[in-house]
Chains A and B, each alone.
Chain A
Amino acid sequence: MSFVQWLAALKKSLTGAHNLADWLTVGADNCLVCNGMIRGESQHDRTGKGLLYLRQSLCHRCRESIPWINRVECPHCGRGMYCEDCKRQPNRHFRLNRSAVTYDAVMRSWLAMYKYRGLERLGPALAEMLCPVYERLTEAAGGRWDAMTYVPISDIRAEERGFNQSAAMAEYVSKRYGIPLHSLLKRTRHTEKMSFKTRTQRLRDAQGLFAPREAGFQELRANHPLQAGENAMNILLVDDIFTTGSTADACSKALQAGARILDTEACIYVLTWARS
């Protein structure tokens, strides 16, 4: 192994951690979710080797209860089972969606703790769960990302909640893999929480809910001039849950509109934490 290769390997192994301090710490004392003891490995543990933080901060029981989507049944939306939605709406504005986990009762409670209760210490752990699926999605997308963005929340929600869970997840992934993160979208209006709505309401409400954020696109152009020979940008959109796909679709539409400002096309891939 040459010195350069060795350096690259070292860099790669270091990027998984937040900073130096992460290397010095042994991890949390207790499980972030259930506060139980974190013991060593267990046989049924399907947590990937790269998920250092997850191993350090969740107990083996909680790790085992994560319903990873390892086999994708629906190639379009990344669901782990046969998918009606994609049959019904074949023409969506995004190319693919991939989700890390199935949105079951356990995941629902985790997300509720994080998103609605505001237990932000769960943030990095949930974000790290995106990593394996991100890697698979990158492969599917041809291994190149021009930008990464996230689904914005309204000002009222920002005031109330104090953080944007999608942005936090996107932030984590972008830091870990070195993808430029831009805020490319804005909300045109404030809506009630999606989780209280029915399917048709969601589909209707999401229409025209997002608009491209021009400043973000300008920034993107300034930081990342279009390479010769490329006619479309690969944009990765991050969100927490993919239910009907209406949010992802509306965002993708807005992103494509935004790309047209820059006189290019955009190819949108969606990375979500959970697929319900």
Chain B
Amino acid sequence: MKAYVYLLKQNEEWTAWMTLSPEVDYAFWFGRGSAWQEADCAWYWQEPLPLGQAVEAARLWRGRGQRGSRTLLAKQGWAALWDQGETREYVRQAESAGKADSRIRKQGRAPGEAEAVGRMSRLIDEIRTADSGRRRSWLFDWRKGAVAERYEGSGLYGGNESRASEGKCGYGEGRPGMGTNGGQEGGREVPLQGKDRSGIVDMRDAAAIAGKGGDGIVEAQQVTALARNGDERCYEGERVHSKGRRRSVVRWSAGDGRQVMDADRWSHVAAIAKLAAGLLQGRALLSVEARALLASAAVPGAEANWSEAIQLAALLGQVRLSGSVAAPEGKRADARRRLRCMRCGSGEAHLRRAPCMSCGRDCAYCEACILMGRSRECELLIRGMYDSPVWKEQGLGRWKALRRQPMPERLGKWGLSPAQREATAKALHFLEEHPVGERMKGTRVPRLSNTLGRAITKLMPSGRSRKSGASDMDQQPGDDESDTHPLRGNQEQRTRTATEDRYNYPGRREGEGERTSKGTSNGISKEISSGTNSGTSKGTSKGTSKGTSKGTSKGTRKETSDDNRTKLHVVETEASSTRSSVLEGDKPSPDRSFLIWAVTGAGKTEMVFPLVESIISRGGRALIASPRRDVVLELDPRIRKAFPASNVVTLYGGSEQRWDRGEITLSTTHQLIRFHEAFDLVIVDEIDAFPYHGDPMLYFAADKSRLPGAPKLLLSATPPRELQYEAKQGRLAHARVPVRYHRHPLPVPKLLRSPSVRHLLAKGSVPASLLHAIRHSLGRGAQVFLFVQRISESEPMAALLRKQLPTNEIEATSSKDPDRANKVIRFRTAETRLLVTTTILERGVTVPRSDVYILDADGKLFDEASLVQMAGRAGRSADDPAGKVYFIGPARTVSQLRAVRHIRGMNRIAAKKGFLFEVRRSDKQKEKGT
């Protein structure tokens, strides 16, 4: 995908923008009623750049300009500052300093147009060189690099690019006068071309000037001079590239005679943009996925106008656009910048370059998340901003009522055991009492209803014509209903009513966009520019919108004073040292994790309910994620039953609710890469299970799916050692549930000695002790799990046991068994009495009355966690709490002993805290005695 770049002059400041659809940007800044945007002029590069380069150009321009207080803050470390609580004061000081600076700057001179354009041209060239340098680097990826050069030579892949640039800004060199209307051939550029061509600088002159300019860069200074002499408002500079490619820069300004997108179309686009912004909230989608999302919502005309709509939403700060594989912010601009998949966080080890027909160069794609759609450099990643109501001051009635209840009452209705209640209360406390308000407000998103409403009213507006009942977007209560825009004529009024009837988008309210008149214009533009700025830069950490715009202005002042390139570089290095927050994924706030360490069968799911309730009662969104799809499917009905009034969305590969969004989201951890700062509470179940455990991509996905500073709850019966250690050290908030919900102790494994499975199979017999134990289990009516290490051993073992045991109801299953689900069902319904299985059934399976036999318990595959989990299959129901567990193997290993110690330890804690049923315990002792 390709994109365009332009420089915008606004309040004596130059800002750089990337756009997918210049038409929208032109209408946005210079369209009718442009009084409210106050853009002076803009320079637009007609040549489409590969998406990554365009984003980079806009970002670097900002990065080089942005300097000052932020750098200082970054140097001292955001996190530390936030923690000390001095931040607000600090930011305030920085801001007031910034204000003073900007006053001084205003008296000074903003870079002239020619200077700015020249600078941007150089910047683009620099990016291009760095980019190709990176691509050619032998060390980076020799194999692919070599291929790329050959492709270039053969013209197989370069063809696309040259065609695009010829088509889009094609001016026939030898054809006189083509400069003025040549762009018409470019299709998309048509509306941007001036109508009044009488006074436009002849292209041949411009070309001649460019030719004189030695190095071929636009001699914008001269062009400007020429234009001023001729008193032109619209002219074009042209550059002849060394390869014969042309680049032309076009000046935009209000009323320069260009054709603005007509009101009808604009309103159409705005309507789609509004819907899209709502749908995209909290999502990180590739453009293909975003289109599928719009299609699934049956937005009229979305397919044809999606890029325009997305661009408008981006201008309004509702979505952020970037390449899907890109270099994270705040790093250097040269060839050494490392790329990263912005969706799954994978580094260059998982990236691969291949010649790309879409952007016409060697383009990196991510192999780590390729099963979720291909993320590559020239693929657009759209991240929708979610403005969470949870940590805002205004609470909902539901929440207030909930808060007033004392804790025991709140937890009472969920039917928790004392141990569960204690841990849940601790977690709730962590969730609600932690002073995170400021941090949560970090991400500043302009109010959708306001800004977009204004954008819509700008062209299609007027007349408080309709009242739309249902609304899923929040509304500013104080929205004043001023009169219609003075510039708007009757005709427009008519158009607008017509279009509104056609597009009845949700959330559109009476008077919402009416505040367009001149009085508020300044504020809006500020809001918008700051909103979008904060979107792409470091707004998150700051928490106020003002700060961002100040940062920009300071930066520009810096540029004004430094004219030559060397100094620009100084600015750049300083700016590049600023830490980014959003794109990098490192949050200014500390990691808010809470570990619930609950034994197997403790009823973790029930414990989660009060926490989820707390979040959704505040209007927030909660996520429950699990690495395993079957766990997600099993949770689904339970959650729906617990929260009948809430909208529950269940996501997994091939889920039908793929594009739905609800208060509660149930998801596999893989699906989380499609979210971006979308949840106020993230709960990850079975954190030590495959594939989540040890996969950085999934960790990244889980972290980025929550809002910065939002709590993350980790659930596990066997947390990884690092977490156990951190919890012990007091670095990780946690609660332990040492007892099962039925308040009986965990069955303690017995160790049995027996030859290995290989030997048993070779010999064709099973030791008497084992047979005796299994007969006893079957005799008492229990279901028997028999775990083996290898898939290849499961079937022979089942066959062997069928021979040796009185029953024939023995089956074997493994991950390679297509009939696995049915076998597990048969086992659950006691049709099969004994199931030989591998570790695939070590967790997530609850069979009421069961005993567990682990063969080859000394094997490498069975570590402590695995053994504890398998042992946890026994005695799960209240009817039969004392299941039996046997570790069988030729040797005792540390893992076995640790697992036993783990289980005993939990039982001991439970007894000490008085969570166990004393009566039953004495019963059991009696039983033992008999």
Looking at A22, A120, A167, the one whose CB has the most chain B CB atoms below 10 A away is A120
A18 touching B147 by the CB < 8 A rule?
Answer: yes
A175 touching B150 by the CB < 8 A rule?
Answer: yes
- Chain B residue contacts of A160, Cβ below 8 A: 288, 358
Residue in A21, A117, A171 whose beta carbon sits within 8 Å of that of B151 in the complex: A171
- Segment at the A interface, from B261-269, B363-371, B530-538: B363-371
B138-162 interface with A by 8 A CB criterion? 142-143, 146-147, 150-151, 154-156, 159-160
B336-369 interface with A by 8 A CB criterion? 352, 354-358, 363, 365, 367
- In the bound assembly, the distance between CA atoms of A19 and B355 in angstroms comes to 17
A162 touching B376 by the CB < 8 A rule?
Answer: yes
Q: Closest CB-CB distance, B287 to chain A, in whole Å?
A: 10
A18 in contact with B358 given A118-B365, A158-B160, A160-B288 (CB within 8 Å) = no
- Chain B residue contacts of A183, Cβ below 8 A: 155-156, 159
Check B374 for interface membership: any CB of A closer than 8 A.
Answer: yes
Return the chain A residue nearest B352 by Cβ. A121
B354 touching A120 by the CB < 8 A rule?
Answer: yes
Check A164 for interface membership: any CB of B closer than 8 A.
Answer: yes
A173-206 vs B, Cβ < 8 Å mask (1 yes, 0 no): 0010000010100000000000000000000000
- Chain B residue contacts of A21, Cβ below 8 A: 142-143, 146
A162 touching B146 by the CB < 8 A rule?
Answer: no
Check B1 for interface membership: any CB of A closer than 8 A.
Answer: yes
A18 in contact with B146 given A117-B371, A158-B160, A159-B1 (CB within 8 Å) = yes
Return the chain A residue nearest B356 by Cβ. A162
Check A119 for interface membership: any CB of B closer than 8 A.
Answer: yes
Check A163 for interface membership: any CB of B closer than 8 A.
Answer: yes
A164 touching B357 by the CB < 8 A rule?
Answer: yes
What total of A-B pairs shows CB separation below 8 Å? 59
- In the bound assembly, the distance between CA atoms of A21 and B151 in angstroms comes to 18
- Chain A residue contacts of B354, Cβ below 8 A: 120, 123, 162-163
A167 touching B365 by the CB < 8 A rule?
Answer: no
Looking at B155, B288, B357, B363, the one whose CB has the most chain A CB atoms below 10 A away is B357
- In the bound assembly, the distance between CA atoms of A167 and B371 in angstroms comes to 23
Q: Closest CB-CB distance, B109 to chain A, in whole Å?
A: 44
Q: Closest CB-CB distance, B342 to chain A, in whole Å?
A: 17
Q: Closest CB-CB distance, A133 to chain B, in whole Å?
A: 22
- In the bound assembly, the distance between CA atoms of A263 and B544 in angstroms comes to 73
Q: Closest CB-CB distance, A191 to chain B, in whole Å?
A: 17
B358 touching A159 by the CB < 8 A rule?
Answer: yes
A159 touching B143 by the CB < 8 A rule?
Answer: no
Q: Closest CB-CB distance, A159 to chain B, in whole Å?
A: 5
B287-298 vs A, Cβ < 8 Å mask (1 yes, 0 no): 010000000000
- Chain A residue contacts of B142, Cβ below 8 A: 21
- In the bound assembly, the distance between CA atoms of A175 and B156 in angstroms comes to 13
Q: Closest CB-CB distance, B158 to chain A, in whole Å?
A: 11
- Chain A residue contacts of B367, Cβ below 8 A: 119, 121
- In the bound assembly, the distance between CA atoms of A276 and B855 in angstroms comes to 46
Q: Closest CB-CB distance, A153 to chain B, in whole Å?
A: 8
B143 touching A167 by the CB < 8 A rule?
Answer: no
- Chain B residue contacts of A162, Cβ below 8 A: 354, 356-358, 363, 365, 374, 376, 378
- Chain B residue contacts of A120, Cβ below 8 A: 352, 354, 365
- Chain A residue contacts of B288, Cβ below 8 A: 160
- In the bound assembly, the distance between CA atoms of A160 and B147 in angstroms comes to 21
A119 in contact with B370 given A159-B358, A164-B357 (CB within 8 Å) = yes
B357 touching A117 by the CB < 8 A rule?
Answer: no
Return the chain A residue nearest B374 by Cβ. A118
- Chain B residue contacts of A22, Cβ below 8 A: 143
- Chain A residue contacts of B151, Cβ below 8 A: 171
- In the bound assembly, the distance between CA atoms of A162 and B357 in angstroms comes to 5
A171 touching B1 by the CB < 8 A rule?
Answer: no
Q: Closest CB-CB distance, B554 to chain A, in whole Å?
A: 40
Q: Interface of A with B (CB < 8 Å)?
A: 18-19, 21-22, 117-121, 123, 158-164, 167, 171, 175, 181, 183
In the assembled complex, 21 residue pairs joining A and B whose CB atoms fall closer than 8 Å, in A order, are A18-B147, A19-B146, A117-B371, A118-B376, A121-B352, A158-B357, A158-B358, A159-B357, A159-B358, A160-B288, A160-B358, A161-B358, A162-B356, A162-B357, A162-B358, A162-B374, A163-B355, A163-B357, A164-B357, A171-B150, A183-B159
State the 8 A-B residue pairs at the shortest beta-carbon distance, nearest first: A118-B374, A158-B357, A120-B354, A162-B356, A162-B358, A21-B142, A159-B358, A19-B146
